[in-house]
Amino acid sequence: MRPFLSLCFCTFLILTSCVSTGDAKPRTRHLTIPADSSEGLLSGYIKDSVSGETIIGATIRVRSLKRGSISNKSGYFALYLPSGKDFKVEISSLGYRTFSKTLQLTEGEKLTENFILSQENLQGEEIVVETDRTKDRRESPQVSTVSLKPSQIASLPRAGEADIFRILQMIPGVQTVSEISAGLYIRGGSPDQNLILLDGSTLYNPNHFFGFFSTFNPDAIKDVDLIKGGFPAQYGGRLSAVLSVTNKDGDLYNTHGAVAIGLISSRATVETPVGNGAITVAARRTYIDAILNLTGLAKSLDLPSYYFYDLNGKFTQNFGDNDKIAVSGYGGLDKLYFDNGSQASQVDIRWGNQSGSASWTHLFSRNIFSKFNFTASHYFSLLKFGLGDESFTFDNQIYDYSLHGDLEDITSSNNTLKAGFQLSQYQFGLNIKVGNNPPNADITQKPVYYAGYVSDEWKPTEQLAINPGLRIDGISTRSDVGIDPRLSVRYIINPEFTVKASYGIYHQYLDLASNPLFTAFDLWLPVDSTQAPQQSQQYVLGISTVPFEDFTLEVETYYKNMSNVVELKPNIITGNRLSDVFFVGSGYSYGFEVFLQKQVGDWTGWIGYSLAYTKRKFAAIDNNAPFSPTYDRRHDLNIVLTYRLSDRWTVGGTFVYATGQPYSQTTGFYNAGEPDYKGKLIPINGLKNSLRLEPYHRMDLSGTYSFSLFSDKKNAEFNIDIYNVYNHRNVWFRRINTDNTPATSENVRLLPILPTFGLQVKF
């Protein structure tokens, strides 16, 4: 494998060294030649006229030629066009006025043209923009993709905080175990099977408030992309899905910010230009602890002290059109402390993430785009009970230092090549001990993960697009290597009807030990000689169409089989191998999803429905009998609506209905001690997850009022949200109350109706 990686690196360096880095119209050496030498190349960046920030996912189209492109994560595009004739280029993006310009290229010319878009609220302009966006999404070979903007996150009910995970859980195929869980269970996969990236840096537990909120501050977000399955070769190391979050680069021209005050937390954001770039800083903190201490409730009611905070920062600098650097960082912490005066009852719980990235974006030529990114990520969880000889300590640490390189070569109007590599150094640590005794578990591992990939997006005809790819990866704790072919195909039957399909093999080299009902203490461990990496094969088939004006309809079906999946053993960890921690088995999932969406007009929103089946099998559990994991939901219906009453008032609502989650029935008990021991009774369970709780359903409503506050513009918003409007307290889990004789079964229920409000002011 090492010779192969060396060959990949050498090839990558040779390719990049053979191209020119000249001016905006280079005419010297090229890596490739367009298929038609009479064509020229138009390239550049799409930017916001107010802030100067690049726009992701903007559409660049020449309608007369039926050619187009979409700006990438850096706002860059490249488009081959015939020379010697005038053509009209249209540029559009949701929320911006469509811009057009007539250009002409000479033979072989490489023209750099940066396009500036102005924000616009006119409905006519939005309709044109959305028509292009949905058309380009249908024409892309990539399946199962959802993109969100901050405006979509802010306009929906928020239960005290606007949160992207809450919105993503309303997308068909994305499920959760409860309303107080921010985990994303996507198409039968568990949260550890999702690759979650913040500016390219991996986050391992993106949850606050014991899973009620995610760690992503909506004020700092620029773009959110979710690929629910069939993701391309540039992503790897996970089985199910990819969530990529990009933070704002910052305003290049003006200093401004926003302050938001709510019942649960407050947020503040500032953007300011610096040199040829900008700095953005965003912070968020809860003040539940401060309110309880100020009112004296914490002491009188013996309540614990709890808070969480987030801090985001990003610094960018542009060195002409060819080079850009960006340095971003994130830090977040949850802390809960309780002390009722007794040493044995003292509890100290902390968990959080820190991440950082430094990226260099470089154009080797107008058609060759590259990005190199160094990232560092740290996740920790610390739990302490009591003091002295009777104390219990659980200490888990993960460090991830990674180098990524990605190269994109737009060889012609019908072909785009991509290649890249990843090299990651991990450090995993786990220490579990009681008092000053030797630790029950003391595990430290420092494996290295490596990967290389290549893919090609080829359009042999206007109707057909084929995207083959190959990823090869592995980890130093094992000698075997993962070979992951990927293939996506798109065929346009007519302008309103597109068919897509994909196939792929995926490997995962990290395993997670976690309780789905309580996600504060995720324990990540790398595969070792006792356990092979998890593997899945995925098949996706879907259609995309326009059933009515301003509506889009996407229907997808999928099948995924999985091997070497893991289940946490119900014992205290006392070993230092993965086989001491996990059962190993297999699984499969398949389903059908419908997504009807409307994104223009006064009424916007979507209806999503999923029919899903998920099963797992373990030889050590019920003699290898298949069972449904806790997060299996057979039927899942989501309705999301927003209505703009006026230029000041916007109202929104969501409704969720889902099949009840599986659980194991308790059939008996045994005493943990001697016959005269009056201690805890240990339950004896029947077949795993053989029963289901009652169906889950909930409705939320919200209203937002925009007004002027010490300004001649509408710079402030007051929002009120009602969570669980009709006060249906859903079941969280079922427990046995052994204090009663005989013991009785009881439902532990979730949140009642919860009204909240907040104020946001921009300056």
Residue 133 scores a pLDDT above 60 = no
Q: What is the largest CA-CA distance in the chain?
A: 97
- Indicate the range of 19-28, 327-336, 685-694, 717-726 predicted with least confidence: 19-28
By percentage, how much of the chain surpasses pLDDT 90? Answer: 50
Contact in structure between 482 and 564 (CB atoms under 8 Å): no
- DSSP helix/strand/coil, 9: helix
DSSP label at residue 184 = -
CA atoms of 186 and 197, how far apart (whole Å): 16
Alpha-carbon distance 760 to 763, whole Å?
10
For residue 694, pLDDT over 90 is answered with: yes
Using CA of residue 577, residue 583, residue 585, residue 587, what is the dihedral sign?
A: negative
**Alpha carbon distance 52, 223 (integer Å):** 16
Over residues 227-271, the pLDDT tens digits come to 999 999 999 999 999 999 999 999 999 999 999 998 888 999 999
Contact assessment for residue 63 and residue 34, using Cβ atoms and an 8 Å cutoff: no
* pLDDT beyond 60 at 346: yes
pLDDT interval class at 750 (50, 70, 90)? confident
Amino acid 299 reads K
- Does 100 have pLDDT greater than 50? yes
Strand 39-48 with 115-117, pairing: parallel
Mean of the pLDDT values across residues 395-400?
Answer: 91
Cis peptide bond upstream of 742, omega within 30: yes
| Whole-structure pTM value | 0.88
**Dist. CA 425–CA 566, nearest whole Å:** 23
Question: Which pLDDT does position 124 carry in this prediction?
Answer: 35
Is residue 437 predicted with pLDDT exceeding 60? Answer: yes
pLDDT of residue 674: 52
Domains contained in the chain, CATH given = 31-139 (2.60.40.1120), 244-762 (2.40.170.20)
Whole-number pLDDT of residue 13: 37
Amino acid 466: pLDDT:
95
Q: Residue 223 to residues 194, 327, 415, 484, 703: CA-CA distances in angstroms?
A: 18, 17, 26, 28, 24
Asked whether residue 76 carries a pLDDT value surpassing 90, the answer given is yes
Q: What is the pLDDT of residues 191-210, one digit of tens each?
A: 889 999 999 999 998 888 76
For the stretch 306-316, pLDDT in tens is 889 999 999 99
Contact 369, 360 (CB under 8 A): no
Give 723's strand partners: 754
The pLDDT, as a whole number, for residue 8 is 41
Determine contact, residues 578/528, Cβ cutoff 8 Å: yes
406 pLDDT more than 90:
yes
Q: What is the pLDDT of residue 12?
A: 38
Give tens-digit pLDDT for 596-644: 998 878 898 999 999 999 999 999 999 999 999 988 999 999 999 999 9
pLDDT at 160: 64
Q: What local confidence, expressed as pLDDT, does residue 22 receive?
A: 37
CB 205 within 8 A of CB 165: no
Q: Is a pLDDT exceeding 70 seen at residue 19? A: no
- The pLDDT of residue 9 is above 70: no
Contacts of 148 (CB under 8 A, 6+ apart): 164, 167, 168, 223, 224, 226
